[in-house]
Amino acid sequence: MNIWDDIVGVSVIIPRRLAEEIAKRGFGLEEIVLSSLIEKLGLDPAAATEVRLELASRYLREGAELVDRDPIQASEKLYKAAEECVKALAIYLNLGNILREVEKRGRWTTTELEKAVEAISDRVGRWFEEAWDRAWALHVWGFHETKLDSEAVKRRLPYIEKMVEEAEKLVSAK
């Protein structure tokens, strides 16, 4: 076993009061932890991008594995893969105005994600915006509304795969 096995699978106990504050303010615990670690460690944009893409790849893998067994959870994992791609590319492409708004607000909102998707699409192609729309359908109709079955999720999977693969290619082509 190496150090990464321990770190990747670590559990953290969050006191109830903190959990209540996180929920009250509309934050996601995972995003708080990730953003806080990136900031606390002073990671440069290249490292922060790499972290986000690693997470996107993991979500993609987990979502793809769940499609037949649990389309609801698969929908959310695949959406999270797309969301992490957006965040990674916003950092990589230095979308300063959007990143400053995220920093000021203390979190990503749907507005910043959408603005980032538009800016990324302007640079990498309209396919990115179309793929994001598929991811958004997974998030809303597949996860929140629980209306998508495995077949509907499978039809959207290639769009999310393309987002992750193309983001990784773009970043590695430095």
For residue 22, the model assigns a pLDDT of 83
**Is the confidence at residue 5, as pLDDT, over 70?**
no
> pTM of the entire structure?
0.89
- Of the candidates 102, 112, 107, the one whose C-alpha atom is nearest the C-alpha of residue 32 is 107
Q: How far from 20 is each of 28, 72, 174, CA to CA, in Å?
A: 11, 25, 42
The answer to whether the beta carbons of residues 157 and 150 sit under 8 Å apart is: no
The answer to whether the beta carbons of residues 159 and 130 sit under 8 Å apart is: yes
| Domain ranges, ordered by start, for the chain | 14-43, 44-172
For 59-113, what is each residue's pLDDT tens digit?
999 999 999 999 999 999 999 999 999 999 999 999 999 999 999 988 899 999 9
Contacts of 81 (CB under 8 A, 6+ apart): 56, 57, 59, 60, 63, 135, 160, 163, 164
Backbone angles phi, psi at 173, to 5 degrees: -85, 5
Q: How far from 106 is each of 32, 123, 154, 164, CA to CA, in Å?
A: 9, 26, 34, 25
**Superfamily of structural domain 44-172:** Nucleotidyltransferases  domain 2 (1.20.120.330)
DSSP state of 138: I
